[in-house]
Amino acid sequence: MIDNLILGAQVALSTQTFLFCLLGVSVGMFIGVLPGIGPMAAISMLLPLTYYVSPTDAIVMLAGIYYGAQYGGSVASILARMPGTASSAVVCLDGYEMTRNGRAGVALFISAVASFIGGSIGILIMTGFAPQISQIALRFGSPEFFMLMALGLIAAATLSEGSAIRSLAMVVVGIVIGIVGLDLTSGTMRFTYGQMELMDGVSLVASAMGLFGLSEVLSNIGRKENRIATAKVSFRSMIPTRTEFRDALPAILRGSAIGSFFGALPGTGSTIASFFSYAVENKSSRNRKNMGKGAVEGVAGPEAANNSAAQTAFIPTLTLGVPGDAVMALLLGAMIVHGVAPGPRMITTEPEMFWGLVMSFWLGNFILLIFNIPLIGLWVSMLRIPYRLLYPMIIVLILIGTYSIRNSVFDVYQLLAFGMVGWVMRLLALPAPPLVLGLVLGPMLEENFRRSLSLSDGSFAIFVERPISLTLLLLIIGVVLLQSGMALIQARQALKRDRS
């Protein structure tokens, strides 16, 4: 192991590879800050440039764009309630509230530190246990993935304060929206009403940007000018208090564990990891009453989760040749173009590339930490821009980001529709995050459910015959019973107070 790490360090610290790593993480970070664009578009645009460099330098740069965007995605979420990437959507809940409370510098500092720790833990797990984790991931079939998605949807009821019934209703709405498009089993179009643009389903970027970003602009039309962030941000003002550090550290560790798990599973990714992390914090944090109102755990946990997931997502891609999401599929294609065959033998046949890539992850995460902390003052200073100037700029960025994904005007229409829906939901106190999670998990839930029944000839016994699937089912039952018990206790306590 030590020899491999030394070999990787020699590759990563070579002048050319270091410069490509620096270029990749820098581009990724700034792409992440811009709402809606995301790493997919950046990698697609820069992919032709990699044909003229070595395979190692090409993959190091493209990978840097991917995990660099995870760092930058939280900036717009925290400052303007605009998720830079889908995985940073849930950070809007507490990060933006911290900004409104005059704690934007602290929120960005916590985000940078949590991202670095989460990414480092993900790299450490990848370094020591990549082959073993890939073998465990192979044991997850359709029944296990179905139960895992169901557990996530049940947990979505804990994503926001208020009625669990409302949250579950929003999950159902998200699932219904998620089934729009082409049915992969039968090949028929569902609920598209003749719109071919909906064949690939409702745009996740448009829905997240509309529900969180555009709805925020609509809700604050006519709001008085912001006077919170007019003072210069000093380094001392960015440092969280001792209590906030004590609350954030367990959340970071929990988020890193959750992100490492979901990142290593093909087909899940950092978006699901960040939502799961927030759900866990909403139940396990000792400050859970403040979740959604500016709690540091609501920033630290999801940020650690999406960055650790971004690192461990390379495990199935490199060791199995199975991409976890669309970005990983693009990176896999880049490797194949350069004559590299990802798979179980890559560690032995391409040791310089594998270990050079691993060590470049350490280097890239350290560069991102150094970049992010000094830039906090610059990001916060954006809040000094008057709303009459800031909001038109935000709308323009949202429109450009949404359009640039597929160069589709129809996606812009979706954005506007979801913006109006998000505005109405805010008026009715309906939570948006469960809807987004239902939209993300709904198609995967249906696909794995139907595939499981096909494998078992229609028998539901397949979900209890497999150990992992049965364990997840028991967890779902436990979560439901726990939530029901807590609701009964709260109702009884309220009844006693009314009688007294």
Mutual orientation of helices 2-12 and 15-33 as an angle, nearest 10°?
80
Amino acid 413: pLDDT? 92
% of the chain beyond a pLDDT of 90? 4
The yes-or-no verdict on residue 45 having pLDDT over 70 is: no
The yes-or-no verdict on residue 229 having pLDDT over 50 is: no
DSSP one-letter code for 233: P
The top-scoring range by mean pLDDT among 65-74, 142-151, 214-223, 420-429 is: 420-429
Q: CA 215 to CA 209: how far, in whole Å?
A: 8
Higher local confidence (pLDDT), 327 or 450? 450
% of the chain beyond a pLDDT of 70? 87
Q: CA 207 to CA 409: how far, in whole Å?
A: 14
> What does DSSP say about strands 189-190 and 181-182: parallel, antiparallel, or unpaired?
antiparallel
The DSSP H or E segment spanning 181 is strand 181-182
Q: Find all residues with CB under 8 Å of 235, minimum gap 6, and list them.
A: none
The yes-or-no verdict on residue 395 having pLDDT over 50 is: yes
Phi then psi for 173, rounded to 5 degrees? -60, -45
DSSP one-letter code for 187: -
Q: Looking at 82-96, 271-285, 365-379, 381-395, which range is the least confident one?
A: 381-395
Q: Find all residues with CB under 8 Å of 433, minimum gap 6, and list them.
A: 89, 90, 93, 156, 159, 160, 275, 278
The yes-or-no verdict on residue 266 having pLDDT over 70 is: no
Q: CA 195 to CA 408: how far, in whole Å?
A: 13
Computed over every residue of the chain, the mean pLDDT equals 80
* CA-based max dimension of the chain: 78
Amino acid 102: pLDDT? 81
What does pTM read for this prediction? 0.73
The yes-or-no verdict on residue 288 having pLDDT over 80 is: no
Higher local confidence (pLDDT), 35 or 12? 12
> Residues 474-487: what's their mean pLDDT?
79
Q: Find all residues with CB under 8 Å of 297, minimum gap 6, and list them.
A: 94, 247, 248, 251, 281, 285, 287, 291
The yes-or-no verdict on residue 158 having pLDDT over 60 is: no
* pLDDT tens, position by position, 126-141: 888 777 776 776 777 8
What is the chain's length? 500
Higher local confidence (pLDDT), 3 or 156? 3
Rg (CA), the chain: 22
Amino acid 262: pLDDT? 82
Amino acid 418: pLDDT? 92
* pLDDT tens, position by position, 199-212: 888 887 788 778 87
DSSP string for 307-330: HHHHHHTHHHHHHTS--SSHHHHH
Amino acid 53: pLDDT? 83
The yes-or-no verdict on residue 97 having pLDDT over 80 is: yes
The yes-or-no verdict on residue 299 having pLDDT over 70 is: yes
Q: Please, are residues 287 and 247 in contact by the beta-carbon 8 Å criterion?
A: yes
Distances from the Cα of 192 to the Cαs of 122, 135, 178, 407, 421, in angstroms? 40, 39, 12, 19, 19
The yes-or-no verdict on residue 232 having pLDDT over 70 is: no
Q: Please, are residues 415 and 214 in contact by the beta-carbon 8 Å criterion?
A: yes
Amino acid 230: pLDDT? 44
The yes-or-no verdict on residue 79 having pLDDT over 70 is: yes
Q: pLDDT grade, residue 253 (50/70/90)?
A: very high
Q: Looking at 135-139, 321-325, 326-330, which range is the least confident one?
A: 321-325
Output the six-digit token pair for 232.
Answer: 């210069």
